[in-house]
């Protein structure tokens, strides 16, 4: 990408002329304004861009080429951090947002009791899978739209906005009817048709890092969503596959500061899928707070040993409450706040 930085005293019409010139070269400009000057990002690769005409135009201060393959997600393009609004919950602001609930919605009772408990303990978003992308075709695949209806009932009862996964572009409309945030799972991070559909949806997107994806690939996946018109994107580090077998995945905690360094989107951590074992979740969640994440996505079940999916990595109600007390203390130490039942 390229950044055309306008002079502080450049007029609006000079900026418009540069935008038109870039368009006439068959390129895609995206303008934004910093405190004192306009910046026009030329979206796409740097190949074959003839810059001399633009450089000479009135009002242009400088052109900065960048080696980054993405544009819209970068802090260079948009220096102020994005706050994603899920219902009435801002993500990426001062509050460290806890999203909690079962891996999969299994029944009305299971989802409702979990929703009430996590709400009482200070979670701000309810998670729950309706359409589950399972590694095995013989595993529980989720209750589908029935699960969405149960989640909606739990939202009405507790007020918690819902995050749930969408696994195909065709399902985006129905999931959008119920959900406040559409989750794109690890297995689908590079499903480009789904990313395009998410870009056209009018709901925030929770984009999970592919288990074998680099940070650059995660940012390129987010770029797809932004390039298709949706800038309400939350990135989620959920562990990557390494040679280590003591945990289900390896939590790449440094992904949090790396992403925060170059990208304006909120970043959260999923300590459940990252570790795969409930006894390690509180430590990973505390690390997320300390590393500067904006929240966590965590699995909780009323009876983890009977869960239809991901029971070994689901916290019991008691374990969840204890973890909330622990992360509250870390959050206070780093100047963040964790919700309470009454906000």
Query: In the bound complex, what is the minimum distance in angstroms from residue 248's beta carbon to Mn ion?
Result: 10
106 sits near Mn ion (criterion: CB under 5 A): no
Task: Give the chain as a 3 state SS string.
Answer: CEEEEECCCCCHHHHHHHHHHHHHCCCEEEEEECCCCEEEEEECCCCCCCCHHHHCCCCEEEEEECCCCCCCCECCCCCCCCCEEECCEEECCCEEEEEEECCECCCHHHHHHHHHHHHHHCCCEEECECCCCCCCCCCCCCCCHHHHHHHHHHHHHHCCCEEEECCCHHHHHHHHHHCCEEEECHHHCCCHHHHHHHHHCCCCEEEECCCCCCHHHHHHHHHHHHHCCCCCEEEEECCECCCCCCCCCECCCCHHHHHHHHECCCEEECHHHHHCCHHHHHHHHHHHHHHCCCEEEEEECCCHHHCCCCHHHCECHHHHHHHHHHHHHHHHHCCCEECCCCC
208 sits near ligand PEP (criterion: CB under 6 A): yes
Closer by beta carbon to ligand PEP, 41 or else 186: 186
Taking CB positions, which residue lies at the least distance from ligand PEP? 185
295 sits near ligand PEP (criterion: CB under 6 A): no
In the list 164, 186, 213, 314, the residue contacting ligand PEP (rule: CB under 6 A) is 186
275 sits near ligand PEP (criterion: CB under 6 A): no
248 sits near ligand PEP (criterion: CB under 6 A): no
Taking CB positions, which residue lies at the least distance from Mn ion? 103
Site string for ligand PEP, 66-105 (x = CB under 6 A): -------------------------------------x--
Query: In the bound complex, what is the minimum distance in angstroms from residue 199's beta carbon to ligand PEP?
Result: 19
103 sits near Mn ion (criterion: CB under 5 A): yes
- Which residue ranges make up the site for ligand PEP (CB under 6 A)? 103, 129, 133, 185-187, 208, 238, 270, 273
């Amino acid at each position: 990408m390229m950044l055309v930085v306008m002079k502080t005293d450049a007029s609006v019409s000079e900026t418009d002329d540069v935008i038109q010139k870039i368009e006439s070269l068959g390129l895609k400009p995206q303008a934004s304004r910093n405190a004192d000057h306009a910046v026009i990002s030329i979206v796409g690769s740097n190949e074959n861009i003839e810059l001399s005409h633009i450089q000479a135009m009135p009002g242009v201060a400088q052109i900065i080429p960048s080696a980054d393959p993405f544009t819209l997600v970068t802090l260079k393009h948009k220096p102020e951090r994005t706050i994603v609004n899920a219902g009435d919950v801002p993500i990426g602001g001062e509050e460290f947002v806890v999203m909690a609930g079962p891996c999969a919605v299994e029944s009305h009772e299971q989802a409702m009791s979990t929703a009430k408990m996590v709400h009482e303990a200070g979670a701000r978003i309810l998670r729950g899978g309706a359409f589950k992308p399972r590694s095995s075709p013989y595993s529980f695949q989720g209750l589908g739209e029935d699960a969405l209806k149960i989640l909606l009932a739990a939202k009405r009862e507790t007020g918690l906005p819902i995050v749930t996964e969408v696994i195909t572009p065709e399902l985006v409309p129905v999931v959008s009817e119920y959900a406040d945030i559409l989750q794109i799972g690890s297995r689908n991070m590079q499903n480009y048709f789904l990313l395009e559909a998410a870009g056209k949806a009018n709901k925030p997107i929770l984009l999970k890092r592919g288990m074998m994806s680099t940070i650059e690939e995660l940012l390129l996946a987010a770029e797809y969503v932004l390039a298709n018109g949706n800038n309400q994107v939350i990135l989620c580090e959920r562990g990557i596959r390494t040679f280590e077998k003591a945990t289900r995945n390896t939590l790449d905690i440094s992904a949090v500061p790396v992403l925060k360094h170059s990208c304006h989107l909120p970043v959260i951590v999923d300590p459940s899928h990252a570790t795969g074992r409930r006894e390690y979740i509180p430590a990973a969640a505390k690390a997320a707070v300390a590393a500067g994440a904006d929240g966590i996505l965590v699995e909780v079940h009323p009876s983890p040993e009977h869960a239809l999916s991901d029971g070994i990595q689901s916290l019991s109600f008691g374990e969840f409450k204890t973890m909330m007390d622990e992360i509250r203390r870390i959050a206070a130490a780093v100047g963040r706040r964790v919700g309470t039942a009454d906000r």
